[in-house]
Structure formats: structure tokens, C-alpha cells
Amino acid sequence: MRFVQTRANQFVGNLEWLRSGGWAKIEEHFKKLVDISGQPSAEKRIEGERSAVNLVMGRNRGFHGVGPKQARNLWQMIGATQYEIPLDSRLCAWLKERKPPFEIDGKKLGSVRYAAVFSNADRDAWKEEEEDEDCASMFAR
């Protein structure tokens, strides 16, 4: 394990945050996300998801060592988010190689407003097997 002392301090800080009201805040945000999940307003859902992301980020006194991408991953892994999909530098590099008609700045991936793609344009659910194959082939190139 790298950064042993740093990680140990982060774990201690995270446990303290959870014990001092963090669990209750996470549960409250989770319930809000569940409540708004059936609403037709994508804007309201996106606003709720961003609020949940901001709650758990370390820079906002949430989980130490957790940035915008990891915060989005956390909510996505428990199935609470739908509209914001985390990006990382590998995807940014892959897109840049294909010379898209828009600018991509990998340094901005740490920004709360830039580190996500919105999936509300997707009409059909993705099949898990296809998704895994697509991601694997995308980064194998």
C-alpha cells in the first residue's frame, strides 16, 4: 500500500466524520435521491446528485482523500445516481486522440462541474456485458 501514513490519517478522519454525524448526512442524501428518482425533472435530479457529491468530498469536510470523481463513484456504486457519470484521465486521453470537435482539458477533471458526463440522453438501459466489453475495447486501443 502506498502513502501508508497519509491513508491512515484519512481513514481516521473519515471514521471521525462518520461518527460525528456523517452517517446521518449520507442517509439523508440517499433518501432524498430515492425520493426524487421517479420525478420527470432531470434538473432536480442532477441538483440532488451534485448535492450528494459535494457532501462526501474531502474539500467540503466529507471523506478525506475523496475528490469529485471518487465521490461520484461512491454514489454510483450504491445505485443512487443516474445522471452524472464519473470521468477520469484515461477517458480524457482516449477522447483527445480522436480529435473531437470540442476542447478537453484533463486538468479540469478535478473540478466538480467538469468531472461528469450526463447520461440523460440515453434512451435505453445498457446491458452490463456490452458495457464491460465496450470499456475494455476502448482502452485497449
Q: Which residue has the cell 497519509?
A: 6
Proportion of the chain above pLDDT 90, given as a percent: 30
Q: Name the grid cell of 42.
A: 432531470
Segments forming the whole domain that contains residue 128: 4-140
What's the CA gap between 83 and 7, in Å, rounded? 30
pLDDT 10s digits, 41-50 = 888 888 899 9
User: Is the pLDDT reported for residue 64 higher than 80?
Assistant: yes
Distance of CA 44 to the CA centre of its chain: 17
Quickly state the pLDDT bin for 112 (edges 50, 70, 90). Answer: low
Residues 131 and 22: their CA atoms lie apart, in Å, by: 33
CB atoms closer than 10 angstroms to residue 30: 15
Nearest alpha-carbon partner for 56 in 31, 27, 32: 27
What are 6-63's pLDDT values in tens digits? 999 999 999 999 999 999 999 999 999 988 887 778 888 888 999 999 999 988 789 9
The total number of structural domains that make up the chain: 1
Residue 121's pLDDT band, with cuts at 50, 70 and 90, is very low
Indicate whether this model's pTM tops 0.75. no
